[in-house]
Structure 1
Amino acid sequence: MDYLNKNISINLKAIRREKGMSMDEVAEQTGVSKSMLGQIERGEANPTIGTLGKIVSGLRVDLSDLTRTPGLGVYEVNRQKLLPSKEVPGQYAVYTYFPYEKNRLFEIYEIEIEPGACYVSGAHGQGTNEYIVVHAGELTLEIDNSFYQIKKEDAICFGTAMKHTYWNKGNQQLKFIIVFVFKQ
């Protein structure tokens, strides 16, 4: 399940409970079947925008109330259920753990790059810092025609106001975590 479906799953259940509504009542108010609502709440369905429109109209909530990161003390992300947010098969895949949100000053991603491949990233703007921790393989990072070698279990931090490229020049898959931190 991706982060957006997880948010919808958690938020729909919370909204239904806050309103004191049963699944039958929500189905009646929204025109969405009880079985579909159950699948959405369990994170087993990928609801269409039309289905979400029926839900927000019937429950009289904003779409952002369903999609925002839940205000929970714990928000668990299961890596095995994440789908790539960007992917070129045989070259790289990007997984989003915690995406951009206006009230959050960071984002967290994992990138996998196959041997001999690279991933080019544009500039992220002034005031953004990128923190990388390599957990498999070795990263060759190119920033403004300078190269940095980051080995397994090592890290690097840099300002992301310019284009940069992640290279896997090794013979095994490269995996690393990226945290973007934004200034207020």
Structure 2
Amino acid sequence: MNYLIHNISINLKHIRKAKGMSLDVVAEQTGVSKSMLASIERGTANPSIGVIDKILSGLRIKLADLTQVPTKDAYLVDVDKIAPTKDVPGEYRVWTCFPIADNHVVEIYRIDVEAGGTYWSGGHGERTKEYVFVLQGTLSLELADGGTFTIKTGEAFRFASEDDHVYRNHGREKVSFASFFVVS
């Protein structure tokens, strides 16, 4: 499930419940079938622009009300249930767990680099620090200034990520790590 579908799913259900409406009532108000609305709320449907328009009109809400990041204080992301943001078979996969748009301070990724794989990353902007925590395997991190660091399972590493950097997996097993970008 991508972020937009996820946001619509959570927000539609929240709006419906806040208005005290059942799926039947929302279906009557919008002209969208109850089964389609239920699928949207479960995050299993990819609604067309026409369906979104019917929902907006029927509930008298704005597009931003459906698409904005949900305002929940607790939020679970299951990487196995979301589509990777980047996927280069045989090299790496990247999942955006929490985008910078959530809070404008931190962004969190899960990254897997396959055995022998390389992931080239551009800089992340001025005043950005990156924190890497290796979940599985041994990661080689090459920084633009020529420094190379080896980070093993259970270890964490911090660096200024304004410049390009490279993640490499010299091992025979996949490397999995979490990456946190913090804007100071």
Alignment TM-score > 0.5, same fold: yes
Q: SS in structure 1 opposite 2:129?
A: strand
Q: Any unmatched runs of 5+ in structure 2?
A: none
2:173 alignment counterpart: 172
1:139 alignment counterpart: 139
1:31 alignment counterpart: 31
Rounded to whole Å, the distance in 1 between the matches of 2:49 and 2:35 is 18
The Cα shift of 1:123 comes to 1.1
Q: SS in structure 1 opposite 2:100?
A: coil
2:163 alignment counterpart: 162
TM-score by length of 2: 0.91
Name which of structure 1's ranges 67-76 and 103-112 shifts more when overlaid on structure 2: 67-76
Q: Is the 8 Å Cα contact of residues 3 and 98 (structure 1) preserved in structure 2?
A: no
2:59 alignment counterpart: 59
Name which of structure 1's ranges 97-106 and 119-128 shifts more when overlaid on structure 2: 97-106
Name which of structure 1's ranges 39-48 and 174-183 shifts more when overlaid on structure 2: 39-48
Q: SS in structure 2 opposite 1:132?
A: strand
The Cα shift of 1:154 comes to 0.7
The Cα shift of 1:73 comes to 3.0
Letter of the structure 2 residue corresponding to residue 135 of structure 1 = L
- Name the % identity: 51
Name which of structure 1's ranges 92-101 and 46-55 shifts more when overlaid on structure 2: 46-55
Report runs of 4+ in structure 1 exceeding 4 Å deviation.
Answer: none
Name which of structure 1's ranges 165-174 and 53-62 shifts more when overlaid on structure 2: 53-62
Q: Over residues 59-99 of structure 1, what are the superposed CA-to-partner deviations in whole Å (9 max), with x where a residue is unaligned?
A: 22222221222222321112321211110112111111111
Q: Over residues 9-65 of structure 1, what are the superposed CA-to-partner deviations in whole Å (9 max), with x where a residue is unaligned?
A: 111011112222222232233232211001111222122333223322332222222
TM-score by length of 1: 0.91
Letter of the structure 2 residue corresponding to residue 55 of structure 1 = I
Rounded to whole Å, the distance in 1 between the matches of 2:49 and 2:90 is 31
Letter of the structure 2 residue corresponding to residue 27 of structure 1 = A
Do the aligned partners of residues 6 and 31 (structure 1) sit closer, same or farther apart at CA in structure 2, a change above 3 Å counting? same
Q: SS in structure 2 opposite 1:180?
A: strand
- Corresponding position: 1:94 with 2:94: yes
Q: Any unmatched runs of 5+ in structure 1?
A: none
Give the aligned CA root-mean-square deviation in angstroms: 1.7
Letter of the structure 2 residue corresponding to residue 180 of structure 1 = F
2:182 alignment counterpart: 181
Name which of structure 1's ranges 153-162 and 40-49 shifts more when overlaid on structure 2: 40-49
Q: Is the 8 Å Cα contact of residues 118 and 165 (structure 1) preserved in structure 2?
A: yes
Rounded to whole Å, the distance in 2 between the matches of 1:163 and 1:169 is 19
1:110 alignment counterpart: 110
The Cα shift of 1:102 comes to 5.9
